[in-house]
Every structure is written in structure tokens, then in C-alpha cells.
A and B are shown apart, each in its own frame.
Chain A
Amino acid sequence: MKPSTVLDPSRAPSRVAAFILGALALTATSAVASTAANTVITNTATVNYNDAGGAAQAAVTASAAVTVTLVPSAAPLSSPPVQTIAQGGPAATLTYTITGTANGPDTYNLSSTATPANVSAVTPTLPANITLGGTTLAVAANVGDPSITVPYDNNGLATINGIGIGSVIVVGGNPYTVSSVTKNAAANTATITLTGAIAGAGQAIGTVVGERKTFTETVPSGTVTSGSSGTQTVSTTATSTTAPGPATTQTTPTVITVQRPTVTVTKLVSVDGGATFNASATAAPGVVLIYKITATNGAATSATSVAFTDVLPAYLTYQVITGRFATSAATTYAGATALTEGSGGYTVSGSTVTYNPGGATGTVAGGGVLVLFFGAKIN
């Protein structure tokens, strides 16, 4: 008498080896080891019997099959690092990694909230959902194995339970890229060849093989409502579309700092015709003082329509054709570009000096400066 079914390849020919494995499997928790979704488990019973005279009769068999169902599992999401963006500048782009942990392919709905602080509310943009392949090991994977064996998924697709060439799969915590998938329906298995051999530690039968994907989410800045900056605190959740819909939310919310353009101003004076500038100096009447007013944009984003207004105090008289501007803090008065009163946004009206160039000159990039020089004589 011999069994009519194909011997189970997962039960090694050596009974000693087979049962050492068996004992290990027994000590592992059953939640860890599972059979992949869409696996067909067939049970075949055989009856051998004799007639009354003792002559063997043809054996009879019967089979029954069940298909293994998907057990949905929450798919862990990464927590993208913090970012700083400029108000009104490009939206923040967050890149998430999501890894399947179910025994089969599943689709996860994605949702995200951005909680504003000191900034107006915004709506993040992200994919509506993402589908991750998944299976489990049908044969234990050993370190150095160039491929893994998983259960056949009972269809003729080129992918095995959603995993195909180029998919990134995670086995025992390590990611691998799939270079090929070969199905063997007769053996009820499929072979997934990896671009790199199994590393780290061997993995037992039933270990989940989950696909890993990335997706991006964009979060606009909103408008800072007070102070120089605000934050958008982003929290993204992936929810399985398979009942009961287990969900994962990123462990650490991603804080996006939104900076409002911030311009600071300094004013220096020169008593030597623009050669050296200091915060204060002494000079005799009749000396022409050269003022250097520097507007510095301390934010990450551009400040537009930067304009200077300077009201000369008493005892000073503006000197014509002394106005100059520069867009570098290092530019000397001699090297600066001359301004003409009444044009280019440079006007002098009584004791009020105004420079409002507008356009490109009036736009100071993040970290940039705009410098105005002009001269006034001590009466």
C-alpha cells in the first residue's frame, strides 16, 4: 500500500530533519506562520481493499479542496522626516513607504490630515489607495538562497498574489527586488527569484512575504496667520479595504514648518565717502555722510516688493545723485549701481527718501539682501 498523493516537498525526506522542523514550527506562534491567500489546499483520501478471497481491488480516491482566504493585516507606514517650506512656495512633498503584512494581496485606502498651527488650513493631496501584493513562504528560506518558494495562487497571471517582476518584497524585515516569477501549478508552488540572496537570517515556512511600495503626498504651505512661521502637522493612515479593515497611521506625525518671508533691516553710516561703514561715527558739519541701509530676507522664500523709506532727521540735507543700490551685502558704495531721483522707484521728497524698485530688484530671495546707499550732508 502506498499513498496516492504527491509527497509533500516541505516535509523533508529525512524524518529526523522533518521533525526537527516540525518541532520548531510548533513552538512558533501560529499567527506568524500562515498559508498564502488563494492557495488551494487539496485533501485526497485513498481506499485500498480486498475482495473476500483476499485479492486486492483497484483503489478508490476522493478529494476535497479549500481555497485559503485573505486575512487582512495593517500595513505599516513610514514617518517622513520634518520639512521646512516657504509660505506661498512649492508644496511640501512627503514620501511614504508602506509594507504589506497580510497573507495575500490587498488594497489600502489612504487618507491624511494636516493639522495647522499658526497657519491656515490646507488639504494634502495623495493617492486614493494603494495595492500591495502578498504571500507567504511555502518552503523555509535560508541565508544565501537566490529565490523563495511560495504557494501557487491558482491563476495564470504573470504575478503571484500581486507580486511581479520589479516588485520590492520584504522577507524577514529585509527588502528584495523580484527579478522573475515562475509558477508551478503541478507542485502547487511558485518560485520568486530575487536580485539579491536572502540575507540576515533564515525564515520559516509561513513567514509573510509582503510587497513594499512608496507613494508621495503633497502638502501646500497655507498662509502664516501670525509670527514668522507656522506648522502643518501631517498624519497619514492606510486602511485595508478588506473587512474588518485594519488600519495603520504613521507612528510619528510629520511636522512641516511654514516660514513667512522675514526681512530685517540694518543701517550703517560712513564718514569717509563710503569706504568704511559703522553703526555710529563722529563727523564735523559740512561732511557728507553715506548711509548704507541693508534689507535682509531671513526666510527661506522670496520677499517681494521690498521698499525703503527713510526720513532724514534734522540737521541733515539730502545730496543729489548719491543714491545707489546693490543686491549683495559685500558690494561697496563705489561698486554699487547708481540711482536717479525720480526714476526706478527712487524718489526724494523733502527729507523723505523712498526706494521702491518693484519687479526683480524689489524681490529679495530667501537669504538675499537689497542695499540702498545715499548721501546727506551735516548742516
Chain B
Amino acid sequence: MPVSILLNSALAATLAIAGAAQAKPRVVVSIQQLKEVAGPSPSGKPTSWVPAANASPGDVLEYVLHYSNQGDEAAKNAVIEDPIPKGTTFVAASGADAGVEITFSNDNGKTWAPAVKLTYEVKLPGGAVERRVATPSGYTHVRWTVSSVPAGASGQVSFRVRVN
């Protein structure tokens, strides 16, 4: 809500109460960092994903981003953005979107496109510039756009990287 300059402290208090009463979205986010290790998972798979504090070059890490709206109004156009960490490489097709729109950037967030449409320019020896479809290893950012997160709703998205 717009708050203009207030001269009267009593009025300010009144407005603050009114503001607190007004419905507002409040989105929180957390990251869970997992690593695939040998050893059966509870579901019987040969490997399991466990929380990771360290990793070796070549290890695949999964970042699970939990988001929830703890406010009392829907959050609109929630954009979850995550730069691929330095020292890691995005694993192809590992962006799990759970039904939300996922786009990628290969230029540090300047441009965004779905995986198949993301391109980059290559200067050929002759000087001509050619557009090519970006390979997932070149992604710099991943982004999910959730058009609406209702109050009390939550969800999660995830992606994987390989430690260089």
C-alpha cells in the first residue's frame, strides 16, 4: 500500500495497524543441496541422494528449491532465479519444473529462453556471425516463473550441476 509522508505520529500508528491488517503475500524460499552416493535408497534404487556438505570434482549436485507463500494473499508472477554456481556445469535436462515455466540464460541473465530456443552467437573465421543453439553446459542461469502462488501454497523446483 502506498504510504505518504506522515506528520502525525498517532495517524501513523493507525495506518500501520491498517497496513498490518491488509492481505499480503509472503514468499519464503529454501535450498536443499543433495549429492548422489552409492548405497540403496529407501525406494530400492542403487544410489541415494543425501544432503551434501562437500563434493568432489565430477560429482553431481542437486539443488532443490522449496518455495511457499506464508502470506495471506496470492503471490503473483513469482520468479525463482538461480545462477549456475561458479565451478559447476548445468546438467542437461535436469531442470525439474513441476509444471511451472522454466527458462534459461546463457549470458548471465540478459536474455532468457526455453532450453530449445536458447541460442548464442559464434564468430566464424570469415567474420560472419552464426547463431547456434546453446548447449546446457553453457547455461549461466536457470529461472522458473510461477504465475500465481496462492496463500498457503508451496512447491519445489530443482536442477542439477556437475562440479567441475
The residues of A with any CB-CB pair to B shorter than 8 Å are: 1-5, 7-8, 10-11, 15-16, 18-20, 22-23, 25-26, 30-31, 33-35, 39, 41-52, 54, 57, 60-71, 103, 138, 151, 188, 205-206
A sample of 17 inter-chain contacts (CB < 8 A) reads A18-B138, A19-B122, A26-B135, A33-B164, A39-B87, A41-B85, A45-B29, A46-B82, A47-B78, A49-B75, A49-B79, A49-B149, A57-B25, A60-B27, A67-B53, A71-B57, A188-B86
The residues of B with any CB-CB pair to A shorter than 8 Å are: 23-33, 35, 52-58, 61, 63, 65, 67, 73-83, 85-89, 106-110, 120-123, 129, 134-135, 137-138, 140-141, 149, 161-164
Decide yes or no: A43 and B163 within 8 Å by CB, A7-B108, A22-B135 being known contacts. Answer: no
Extra inter-chain contacts (15) besides given A50-B25, A66-B52, CB under 8 Å: A2-B109, A3-B83, A15-B121, A16-B129, A18-B106, A22-B135, A26-B138, A30-B58, A43-B31, A45-B65, A47-B80, A51-B25, A52-B25, A64-B31, A68-B57
By beta carbon, the residue of chain A nearest B30 is A62
Chain A residues near B83 (CB-CB < 8 A): 3, 5, 8, 43-44
Chain A residues near B27 (CB-CB < 8 A): 47, 49, 57, 60
What CA separation (Å) do A20 and B25 show in the bound complex?
43
Q: Are B109 and A63 touching (Cβ within 8 A)?
A: no
By beta carbon, the residue of chain A nearest B57 is A34
Query: Which of B54, B120, B137, B161 meets A15, CB within 8 Å?
Result: B120
Q: Are B122 and A43 touching (Cβ within 8 A)?
A: no
What CA separation (Å) do A154 and B162 show in the bound complex?
21
Chain B residues near A47 (CB-CB < 8 A): 27, 29, 67, 78-81
Chain B residues near A41 (CB-CB < 8 A): 55, 85-88, 163
Decide yes or no: A54 and B76 within 8 Å by CB, A8-B140, A18-B107, A19-B138 being known contacts. Answer: yes
Nearest 10 pairs of A and B residues by beta carbon: A34-B57, A49-B78, A64-B33, A22-B138, A64-B31, A15-B107, A45-B82, A49-B75, A19-B120, A35-B87
